[in-house]
Structure 1
């Protein structure tokens, strides 16, 4: 019989705590729940996160190693861009490469190649127009 009385008291205490909790959480009357979710006020959350920190399993050695790999990749990318430019046959690829200019044209440098082109260009365009007639 004593066990039943204890259970009854515990149940009454639980109900009283729930009632107390409801009155302290929502002083306004309860509103019925709608099907559409209501937007939450997140302004307090954003302010709380300004001082938040992040934890990671990476050590400084790991981060330095990744930075070294990044530097190496950037250097390699620059070298590959230079090589790709050297494989093209455009004005930019000949401008700063006297070896390429001499190899493909027989002229000593890019400046002379430009002068020859400017002298020959009117005849080249004339020749192209005559061929199309």
Structure 2
């Protein structure tokens, strides 16, 4: 039970960090032009507050755990993208995966596969059967 609560907290913290990262990286929204007078410049006030701190209940241990969760999720996302590429049947997936090329074609290398494809390509046609 405690592990599940801990994982939930880590997930919420990671989402909060990502939201914070997105808000700091996103450009300031532009306001539409209007005929009304513009408000006075308050950039001097904001510059004074740039060094202000922020109170939080998070400890460094919590932040490190959130970073670990974020790192694991990023790694998992990369692995899943690689697996998704392996499930596709395009030139890049066969070129970068010797086992896949051998399993599906039985050919000794990728260059032979390209040669066969170039020889057969003019004779490959797509026949579409109309739906009734």
Shared fold, TM over 0.5: yes
Equivalent residue runs for 1:66-105 within 5 Å: 66-105=66-105
Structure 1 partner of 2:33: none
**Distance verdict in 2 for CA 1:112–1:40, change over 3 Å:** same
Which consecutive residues of structure 1, in runs of 5 or more, have no partner in the other structure?
1-37
CA RMSD of aligned residues (A): 2.5
Q: TM-score, normalised by structure 2?
A: 0.59
Distance 2:63 2:40 in 1: 38
| Bigger RCO of structures 1 and 2 (CA < 8 A, at least 6 apart) | 2
Structure 2 partner of 1:20: none
Deviation string, structure 1 residues 31-54 (Cα, Å, up to 9, x no partner): xxxxxxx94663442132122111
Structure 2 partner of 1:32: none
Distance 2:94 2:48 in 1: 59
Judge conservation of contact 1:98–1:108 (CA < 8 Å) in 2.
no
Deviant stretches of 4+, over 6 Å: none
Which consecutive residues of structure 2, in runs of 5 or more, have no partner in the other structure?
1-37
Equivalent residue runs for 1:102-117 within 5 Å: 102-117=102-117
- Going by fraction, where is helix more abundant, 1 or 2? 1
Q: TM-score, normalised by structure 1?
A: 0.59
Deviation string, structure 1 residues 89-125 (Cα, Å, up to 9, x no partner): 1111111111111111111221210111112223x15
Distance 1:81 1:55 in 2: 38
